[in-house]
Chain A
Amino acid sequence: AQKITQTQPGMFVQEKEAVTLDCTYDTSDQSYGLFWYKQPSSGEMIFLIYQGSYDEQNATEGRYSLNFQKARKSANLVISASQLGDSAMYFCAMSPIIQGAQKLVFGQGTRLTINP
């Protein structure tokens, strides 16, 4: 079984600072994907970034980067130069890679608040 652990229920950061959201995972699968999603108050889950288990380089997407440490089974999200609009719930998730299907297992989330 797969499991995602997010140990930070809430984070408070000053605008323009960088922030790291922690995520550790547990799986016996050899091939898997790691994802981060943002959920604003509207409820929609917005895809941010993806890292495959065999990708040697950390994924980056604009201000988002994923700090992937396979041996430690961690996949932390780093947001550089935070903005007020970054305030939201953030979920780490993983999925086995089976014929492209994405049966995501999510963590409990971290609520990020950006202060002006």
Chain B
Amino acid sequence: DTGVSQDPRHKITKRGQNVTFRCDPISEHNRLYWYRQTLGQGPEFLTYFQNEAQLEKSRLLSDRFSAERPKGSFSTLEIQRTEQGDSAMYLCASTPPAGELFFGEGSRLTVL
């Protein structure tokens, strides 16, 4: 499978715990994006990388959130001290220099 891969697909955690999601983009894609989708809503932009550089972060990305793409390949999104409001689907997408976004199937987070 050569699509965007996300892991884990589902995560249930208790409030206050840290969680980390991983995204493996399509190999030749230099841009990688993170979006968040809450129930009944469309996805919302969080941040994006061009190669290893994080070029923009949304105001939605509080200090408890950190994203990295250390070697310009896979990316991680960590949420520290999770809150119930963090419960959502976290979607990763990648794109070549010119072309449409290819999304992964998402990582669903439930914070109890």
Do the two shown chains form a genuine complex with each other? yes
Q: Is the CB of B91 within 8 A of A45?
A: yes
**Closest Cβ neighbor of B95 among chain A residues:** A102
Q: A35's closest neighbor in chain B, by CB?
A: B100
- B42 close to A106 (CB less than 8 A): yes
List B contacts of A100 (CB < 8 A).
31, 95, 97-98
Determine how close the nearest CB of chain A comes to the CB of B18; give it in whole angstroms: 23
Q: Mark B61-97, 1 if CB is under 8 A from A, else 0.
A: 0000000000000000000000000000101010101
A106 touches B43 (CB 8 A): yes
1/0 per residue, CB under 8 A from B, across A41-68: the answer is 0111111001000000000000000000
How many chain A residues have a CB neighbour from B under 8 Å? 22
- Within 95-112 of A, Cβ neighbours of B (below 8 Å) are at 100-109
Q: A75 in the interface, Cβ–Cβ < 8 Å?
A: no
Separation of A88 and B106 alpha carbons in the complex (Å) = 16
Does A91 count as interface, using CB distance less than 8 angstroms?
yes
Pick from A42, A43, A104, A105 the residue with the most CB of B within 10 Å.
A43
**What B residues does A42 contact at CB under 8 A?**
105
B103 near A101: Cβ-Cβ < 8 Å? no
Extra A-B contacts (6), CB below 8 Å, given A37-B103, A104-B43, A109-B41: A43-B91, A44-B104, A93-B42, A101-B48, A102-B100, A105-B45
B residues contacting A by CB (< 8 A) are 31, 33, 35, 40-45, 48, 50, 55-56, 89, 91, 93, 95, 97-98, 100-106, 108
- Which positions in A face B, CB cutoff 8 Å? 4, 35, 37, 42-47, 50, 91, 93, 100-109
Can you list 27 contacts pairing A with B, beta carbon distance less than 8 Å?
A: A4-B42, A42-B105, A43-B106, A43-B108, A44-B104, A45-B43, A45-B101, A47-B100, A47-B103, A50-B100, A91-B43, A100-B31, A100-B98, A101-B31, A101-B50, A101-B56, A102-B31, A102-B33, A102-B95, A102-B100, A103-B48, A103-B56, A105-B45, A106-B43, A107-B42, A109-B41, A109-B42
